[in-house]
Structure 1
Amino acid sequence: MTSIVWFRDDLRLADNPALRAALDRAEPVVGLYVLDEESPGIRRLGGAARWWLHHSLASLGERLRERGGTLILRRGPADRVVREVLADASATAIFWNRRYAGPEREIDAGLKASLREESIAVASFAGSLLFEPWTVKTGGGTHFSVFTPFWRACLALPAPRAPLPEPREVPGPAQAIASDALEDWGLLPTRPDWAEGLRENWEPGEPGARARLREFLAEDLDRYDRGRDVPSEEATSRLSPSLRWGEISPFTIWHETVATGRGAKFLSEVGWREFAWHTLFHFPDLATKNLRSDFDAFPWPELDEDHLAAWQRGNTGVPLVDAGMRELWHTGYMHNRVRMIVASYLIKNLLIDWRQGEEWFWDTLVDADSASNPFSWQWVAGSGADAAPYFRIFNPELQAKKFDPDAVYIRRWAAEHAGDEPPEPIVDLYATRNRALEAYEKVKQNRAE
């Protein structure tokens, strides 16, 4: 008898409830990862995410082998591939940690129902969110649309469970099971290889995630509240890619932070991630449709391809915007304060649909996920949850004076802006701000009607 552990966005051994359930059966365990780019509704990973996935899977496979286990890699529609591996392994049970995006939930629910009819033991677990989306409700029994009462309701629930220990042994199957070679999946860029900056800045995998958490709690937590808005300071945890891929669980982050007796603001940012996923659970089309339908009336002009390209390349002539977009391209990451500023500039100064920005971030961020990425873009656009005032327009020049007063961040990523002849902006900030406010009047009128 053999059990399958289907790894998805939980590429870790510690605090992995699905893995723990399989090990509790005291029988061989087969780890499985399916690269599914064919099932209906599944979104193909962006380039930066594919780079991270390659290295995270390599790390997970090595860690399983060190403990006697194995990681099988297969590519194709998950429903078909899972059944094939169950047959190849003569497995009688399969375990996974839950997913919350719409297409993935449909796949999982369909598999669970059909496999149980075939006498395969199936169980799913809470491994990726502190609070399940169906457990956090308003007094009227509906979902929350504003963060503060949402987080207050979360904190009123029983505290998140303690993290599970990392297993010392993972007994593998007696016979080898066919697996794809990770290198054959083509997840890494080659022509050209644009990932040098990613390699310089990141260590994908569970060990790297644990090291970043320890370093953050020991060295940066005390200055997080003050420094998290300053892009030139190393005051944030930089754990978002590891949370996205499940190399570390939110339960581990929660309990290790609570143990310090500090970090309430940091934990509320973990709560913001929960809010994004809960919103996606209730609105599966978050990446393509306005959460607030009155924003369907927003009068987007015809797409200006030149303006979009200038924004993508960091050639807008606005120092903080250009610095942020170049940081993104080089590292696959951008400071959160700057993310809000560059998003506001694209939407409200260039009047380019937020979905264009969401797609670019999906392709270039190592931490882009199905919830936080579209949720954040809709928040900035004003079409999403908790987006008040919806007409907020970040002034990138004022933001630079406030959060990068000595231009440390700008000089690092867009040094020409600190020179004697800085580039000219492609649009006038004042005029385009007024244009955006006029466009938002259409939304206001639609809401009144």
Structure 2
Amino acid sequence: MSDTAILWFRQDLRLTDHPALDAVAQRRILPVYILEDGPWAPGGAARWWLHHSLAALGQDLAQLGAPLVVLRGDPRRLIPDLATRVAATEVHAGRRTEPAGRRCDAETHAALEVIGARLVLHRTALLHEPHQVRTGAGAPYGVYTPFSRNVFASLEGLPPPLPTPGRLVAVPGAPVGLGLDALDLLPQPPVPDWAAGFGDHWQPGEAGAAARLAAFLDHGLAAYGDRRNDPGAPWGTSGLSPHLHLGEVSPRQVWHAAKAKGGKGLETFQKEMLWREFSHHLLWHRPEMPEAPLRADFAAFPWRPDASVLRAWQRGRTGYPIVDAGMRQLWQTGWMHNRVRMITASFLVKHLLQPWQDGEAWFWDTLVDADLAANAASWQWVAGCGADAAPYFRIFNPVLQGEKFDPSGRYVRRWCPELAALPDRWIHRVHEAPDVVLRGAGITLGRQYPAPLVDLAAGRARALAAFAAIKGDAAA
């Protein structure tokens, strides 16, 4: 075996608890990141995060003595070429669950075998191997609760995180890669810098992930079970999803750190982590999930695509404050509170009858934590067509949801400032407020704030009729 190895970074942009790095840390290594094009390439917000995450990883690797080589193109060609150039017989990387990534890895492995090298995959992004968790009958899980029980029990013996390596030995005469700017990950003129405010909310990179985790453990974990559904609560959620998506912190690090901290919010937080695991389990076994409904009867669902309706939802101009606040938070920060994600998604696919794939695509482009498995599984769950999905007739009423989870209007007032002067009683019922209240708040419906895009009762009835239609077709 050659003393030289390639370390291929993908969704594990960190140095701590990195099994692939640990496997080659005592050898001469060539750290590589390749920006791949193709289906489900990163969306705009995720590209912004990726730029800054790669910059941080590059600095960290350089300090340890093995600079990162950044490339763009097809790994099936680039990886074997690199292996030949540096005489590497092994390429170590994290295992992927995305269908395109799995195909790429299989073909890269075949190409490496031709030159006498091999691709060695490690678990770097998940707590479990999606293909190894099975029901008692040997089948993949399709329901979250028994899946979570199985995985939770298996994590009793979860090994501790691996340490950060010391000095690394770089390959002599390593090839020169691209500068980060050559990847065009950031908004470029004449396009406005729509990500200008992201840096006020996020610190991409391993150091940022560590700081976010520590702050959440100190300020959020204990009350997580009580505050996680309050979108206006400080530290109501961990904010770790974008760091986990690109692997700036490992789920094993998060699991052990949370368990060590303890508190009454721990179990609820762990269950949320296992939903992420379940999403990747589903994607592994149902690779069609990002494009096609997992329930076959939904292929005939009578959606009513409407570009103007979709645009109003995207821009937070629906006339329903909790929906509009969520969509504006998403646009301004690249992130949206999880409870509000469910409310906005339900409103789009049920009250507005827009295809769930259109909402999925918008989230893919605008979320800094856009994860193919979690995004697809969650949209299918809300739409009622996925594994263990919410029943289609479960239709969130955005007014009642707002009053329940944002009773004081703190969240709505932050992201819809034109509504700030409304009394709490009317903050989620703008269209029902008396004229004198609207005038006092400086609001004219249709001007400062839009009139409702749809009547909720009529939208609900239309959605239920559409569902009944496909159920009737299935029975015919």
What's the TM-score, normalizing by structure 2?
A: 0.91
Alignment match, 2:147: 150
Alpha-carbon offset, residue 34 of structure 1: 0.5
Partner amino acid for 1:341?
Answer: I
CA distance in 1: counterparts of 2:23 and 2:41, whole angstroms? 30
Gaps of 5+ in 2: 423-437
Q: Distance in 1 between matches of 2:168 and 2:268?
A: 37
Within 1, Cα distance between the matches of 2:291 and 2:267? Answer: 33
Give me the whole-angstrom Cα distance separating, in 1, the residues matched to 2:262 and 2:365: 38
CA distance in 2, matches of 1:90, 1:125: 22
CA distance in 1, matches of 2:247, 2:184: 22
Question: Hey, what's the Cα distance between the residues in 1 that align with 2:211 and 2:474?
Answer: 49
Alignment map for 1:18-417 (pairs within 5 Å): 18-23=20-25, 26-38=26-38, 42-158=39-155, 159-190=157-188, 191-234=191-234, 235-262=236-263, 263-301=266-304, 303-417=305-419
Query: CA separation in 2, counterparts of 1:430 and 1:390?
Result: 16
Moved over 3 A (4+): 446-449
Residue pair 1:131, 1:160 contacting (<8 A) in 2 also: no
Per-residue CA shift, 1:400-434, capped at 9, x if unaligned? Answer: 11011111110110122344225311211111111
For residues 212 and 475 of structure 2, what CA distance do their matches in structure 1 show?
49
The C-alpha deviation readout for 1:174-205, integer Å capped at 9, x for no partner, is: 21412011111110013211112211100000
Partner of 2:4: 2
C-alpha separation in 2, matches of 1:122 and 1:353: 39
Following TM superposition, by how much is the alpha carbon of 1:446 offset from its aligned partner in structure 2, in angstroms?
3.7
Aligned to 1:15: 17
Task: Quote the offset at 1:317 in angstroms.
Answer: 0.8
Q: Distance in 1 between matches of 2:467 and 2:401?
A: 22
SS for the counterpart of 1:323 is helix
Question: SS of the residue aligned with 2:362?
Answer: helix
Q: Which amino acid aligns with 2:208?
A: G
User: In 1, distance between residues paired with 2:184 and 2:119?
Assistant: 31
Shift of 1:119: 2.2
Cα deviation digits, residues 57-109 of structure 1 (max 9, x gap): 00000000011111001111110111222223232221011001112111112
Tell me the distance in 1 between the aligned counterparts of 2:390 and 2:334.
Answer: 29
How far apart are 1:44 and its partner, in Å? 2.1
The residue type paired with residue 262 of structure 2 is G
Distance in 1 separating the partners of 2:474 and 2:137: 24
Instruction: Name the % identity.
Output: 48
Contact 2:222 2:262 in 1 (8 A): no
Q: How many residues align?
A: 443
TM-score with structure 1 length normalisation? 0.96
Tell me by how many angstroms 1:143 deviates. Answer: 1.1
1: CA distance, partners of 2:282 / 2:144:
10
- Rounded to whole Å, the distance in 2 between the matches of 1:101 and 1:122 is 17
The code of the aligned residue for 1:58 comes to A
Q: What is the identity, as a one-letter code, of the residue corresponding to 1:154? A: V
Q: Pairwise CA RMSD of aligned residues?
A: 1.4
What SS class does the counterpart of residue 123 from structure 1 fall into?
strand
C-alpha displacement of 1:140: 1.3
Q: Does the 8 A contact of 2:30 with 2:174 survive in 1?
A: no
TM superposition shift of 1:447: 4.1
Determine whether 1:429 maps to 2:456.
Answer: yes
